[in-house]
Amino acid sequence: MQITIYSPDRHFVYDGSTLEKEGLGGGVTARIRMGAALAARNHVVSNICNCPRRIKFEGVEYIPLDEASRIDGDVLVMNSSGDAFDLSPLQKLELNAKVRVVLASGDAIPKGTAELEPAALLVCSNFIRTRLQRFPFVKRDRILVANCGVNRWNYPGLFGRGRDTRRLIYSSHPSKGLDPSLKLLRILRQHDPRFSLACYGGNGLWGEPDEPPAPEDGFSYSRPIRQRALAAEYQRSGFLLQLQTREEPFGITVVEAMAAGCIVLASSVGAFPETIRHGENGFLFEGKPGDPATVSNAAELILRLSRDRDLMRRVRKRAMATPFTWLTMAEVWEAYFQWLLDPVRVAAVEAPWSRCLECGEVTWIFADGYHCKECGYFSRTARPAS
């Protein structure tokens, strides 16, 4: 297939090589990683974005926004994850793609979406699927839930560094939950001063000026670093902290940490409960992240796990088995695009022996699991047809 990924956002200047140099937000990361994965599956992929010049990287041709006047081919994937949050610049281009789809990065629809008449929505979680169904032009049977993936080098074994279970990681935007993480660190250091917190999530993740937090004992701060370097930090750390009130659309940092064997402690908000099974592959907290009781409970859990290495290993092993790779998710996108282009020919992906866990209708079966044809609900399992 000939696939074009388009984003009008101009608050970042980037191309496919940027992630090899610095950390970026989830929307940009998903566009880059999925494009490369689709190219690896032998599709012809273009990424029209705010790149400084034409370049081909990992099989994807990057084209500057101001050089694009028309889009041809099979599939056009449209996405805005920041800046003006507006897809209407596409209306100035000549669009000849057979199918148009919107890749949604959050629980709102970019301006100009309805006018572009997308055939379907790609969303990263059931949580976002439910939120976007409130828009009148969104059809329940034209939503595909496709999680974000990880790279193969996110898994341990490539960097050869020992893991320090007293080392905590925070790698999100500071507004999400850095303050509760620092409160947690202070409690842990009262029990053992060897506990430390490394922060790799700065304002730069959202294209904002960097504002380093105040220094304190046991805390280190770095601007967002390239993903391979961050993977190495996950692999030598014990826990990733995601105590926050923001309802996360998915959380790429969570699955990257899980793949690396870094145990995730997160608030039970947004899409986190879809990925994290409490007590099995990570831990979820119901209380407000800044409340003393929540922080105290998280500290007690970390101290208990530090004493119970067998439990820690079991949780870590299940966590590493949870994420999908970007290549797997590219296979899911590919199957869905084939259905959009020719529903009759791709009818074989139906799984008539299974039923949706939410509405009971027939499901598709793709590389990641079961997708309901009626309501779009995604699950790794399904119930048998009666």
Residues of the chain above pLDDT 70, percent: 98
Arithmetic mean of pLDDT over the chain? 93
Q: What pLDDT digit, counting tens, does each position of 194-211 carry?
A: 999 999 987 777 777 778
70 and 18 within one domain? yes
Shared domain check, 278 and 171: yes
Q: How many CB atoms lie within 10 A of CB 273?
A: 16
Q: Is the dihedral of CA 61, 65, 68, 74 positive or negative?
A: positive
In this predicted structure, the answer to whether residue 36 has a pLDDT above a threshold of 80 is yes
- Identify whether residues 100 and 199 lie together within a single domain: no
Any idea what the CATH number is for the domain that residue 334 is in?
A: 3.40.50
276 and 363 belong to one structural domain: no
Is 331 in the same domain as 316? no
Residue 158: count other Cβ atoms within 10 Å of its Cβ: 13
Is the CB of residue 100 less than 8 Å from the CB of residue 116? yes
Residue 117: exposure state from Cβ atoms within 10 A (0-12, 13-18, ≥19): exposed
pLDDT band (50, 70, 90) for residue 159:
very low
Give me 358's structure tokens: 């939410």
Residues 351 and 246 grouped into a single domain: no
Q: Once rounded to an integer, what is the mean pLDDT over residues 84-94?
A: 96
One domain for residues 166 and 145: no
Residue 309 burial (10 A CB sphere; 0-12, 13-18, 19+): exposed
Provide mean pLDDT across the span 7-34: 93
SS3 assignment for the chain: CEEEEECCCCCCCCCCCHHHCECCCHHHHHHHHHHHHHHHCCCEEEEEECCCCCEEECCEEEEEHHHCCEECCCEEEECCCCCCCECHHHHHCEECCCEEEEECCCCCCCECCHHHCCCEEEECCHHHHHHHCCCCCCCHHHEEECCCCECHHHCCCCCCCCCEEEEEEECCCHHHHHHHHHHHHHHHHHHCCCCEEEECCCHHHHCCCCCCCCCCCCEEECCCECHHHHHHHHHCEEEEEECCCCCCCCCHHHHHHHHCCCEEEEECCCCHHHHCCECCCEEEECCCCCCHHHHHHHHHHHHHHHHCHHHHHHHHHHHHCCCCEHHHHHHHHHHHHHHHHCCCCCHHHEEEEEECCCCCCEEEEECCEEEECCCCCEECCCEECC
Q: Are residues 314 and 329 in the same domain?
A: no
Q: Using 50, 70 and 90 to split pLDDT, how confident is the model at 349?
A: confident
Give the pLDDT band (50/70/90) at residue 158.
very low
The token duo for 215 is 């220094």
Cross-strand bridge partners of residue 122 = 103, 144
* pLDDT the model gives residue 207: 72
Same domain? For 310 and 337 the reply is no
Neighbours of 352 (CB within 10 A): 9
pLDDT at 243: 97
φ, ψ at 326 (rounded to 5°): -60, -35
What pLDDT digit, counting tens, does each position of 237-250 carry?
Answer: 999 999 999 999 99
Does residue 189 surpass a pLDDT of 50? Answer: yes
Contact 33, 149 (CB under 8 A): yes
Looking at the structure of the chain, the number of domains it has is: 2
Q: Do 242 and 128 reside in the same domain of the chain?
A: no
More confident residue, 226 or 89: 89
- Proportion of the chain above pLDDT 90, given as a percent: 83
**pLDDT higher than 50, residue 160:** no
Q: Report residue 352: phi and psi, to 5°.
A: -65, -15
Same domain (yes/no): 12, 128: yes
Which of 299, 320, 341 delimits the end of a domain? 320
- First-last CA distance in the chain: 37
Last residue of a domain, one of 282, 304, 320: 320
- Sign of torsion, CA 266 272 273 275? negative
Find the mean pLDDT for residues 283-296: 95
- Per-residue b/e over 284-307, b at no fewer than 16 CB within 10 Å? bbebebeeeebbebbbebbeebbe
In this prediction, residue 161 carries a pLDDT of 60
Q: Are residues 268 and 302 in the same domain?
A: yes
**Domain with 233 in it: what CATH number?**
3.40.50.2000
What does the alpha-carbon distance between residue 51 and residue 12 come to, in Å, rounded to a whole number?
A: 9
Cβ contact 124:250 at 8 Å: yes
Which among 296, 320, 344 is the end of a domain? 320
How many CA atoms lie less than 13 Å away from 257 in the CB half-sphere? 26
User: Which region among 155-159, 256-260, 347-351, 382-386 has the lowest average model confidence (pLDDT)?
Assistant: 155-159
**Residue 338 lies in domain:** 1-149+324-386
pLDDT tens sequence across 103-154:
998 999 999 999 999 999 999 999 999 999 988 888 999 999 999 999 999 9
Scan for tokens 């790794």, then name that residue: 380
Distance, CA of 195 to CA of 187 (rounded, Å): 10
